Amino acid sequence: MAAARRPVLAANWKMYKTAAEAAQLARAVREGARDVLGAREVLLAPSFLSIAAVAEALRGSGIGLAGQNLHHEAEGAFTGEVSPVMLKDAGCTHVIIGHSERRQLFGETDEAVAKKARAALAHGLTPIVCVGETLAERESGRTMEVVERQTEKALRALSTDQVAAAVLAYEPVWAIGTGKVATAEQAEEVQAFIRKLVNRSHGQAAAAALRILYGGSVKPDNIGILMAQADIDGALVGGASLKADSFLQIVHYAAG
């Protein structure tokens, strides 16, 4: 990754852990990540019901707290939804948007993702916008087309400054939770392409500032080679973030 961009190591705990378990893991990460926090950004995304407990465990630590989703309205009659105002109030700094599980299992469209990204920024939350192709799309040679559509739609309505402050995550769907990590070259190829798209749509400064994470079966033994790529600025980690020791090994990666 380029030296000017601060690496981001983000844990996505998905629908795992009770509040007590999440708080315990957060305390372990806090303890173990203390030495890297100046140079690296560490984020935890627990389930909504664990956010309060994790916020308490992280207070004053410098570790960021992310929601895994949000509704784009500030409030309203939307049963079962959580608003950006509520996430902010609970102590969140970031929010994951358009994760492939949301897109695939819960029908989130590119339009919904765009609205959510705008809402997050409007309420002072940094969006982590996920894009990525399915196996069928990759095998039919449509990876770049899919990633281009998802990226452009998500970022279209954002200003240059907003894009510069945002985080994007390239997560090939076929690599999520499967143990099949994209090779560093495959990930770099797509991530360099994404940065070029952003250069075209929002200019060179925004493209240079935007952090682009890789996600999909990131583990302690592959993070180093991934982080050695010019356009990989961090990782969004699912399975390997559920245990303190493996996530802390990832946080302490040595690139190369």
Select from 214, 207, 194 the least CA-distant residue to 255: 214
83 is an interface residue for ligand PGA by CB under 6 A? no
Which residue's CB is nearer to ligand PGA, number 198 or number 240?
A: 240
What is the per-residue binding string for ligand PGA in 163-182, x denoting contact by CB under 6 A? --------x----xx-----
Residue 64 to residues 55, 106, 110, 122, 136, Cα–Cα distance (Å): 9, 26, 26, 18, 35
98 is an interface residue for ligand PGA by CB under 6 A? no
Q: Which two tokens stand for residue 62?
A: 């410098």
Considering just the CA atoms, what is the radius of gyration of the chain in Å?
Answer: 17
DSSP secondary structure letter of residue 239: G
Residues 6 or more apart whose Cβ sits within 8 Å of residue 32: 244, 248, 251
Rounded to a whole number of angstroms, the minimum distance from the CB of residue 238 to ligand PGA is 2
Which residue's CB is nearer to ligand PGA, number 202 or number 211?
A: 211
Instruction: Determine the Cα angle at 155 with ends 150 and 156, to 5°.
Output: 100
Maximal C-alpha separation, the chain? 50
Rounded to a whole number of angstroms, the minimum distance from the CB of residue 211 to ligand PGA is 15
Of residues 108-147, those binding ligand PGA (CB under 6 A) = none
26 is an interface residue for ligand PGA by CB under 6 A? no
Applying CB under 6 A, what is the total number of residues that bind ligand PGA?
Answer: 13
46 is an interface residue for ligand PGA by CB under 6 A? no
222 is an interface residue for ligand PGA by CB under 6 A? no
Does the active-site annotation cover 252?
no
Catalytic residue among 71, 72, 99, 202: 99
List of residues contacting ligand PGA (CB under 6 A): 12, 171, 176-177, 215-218, 236-240
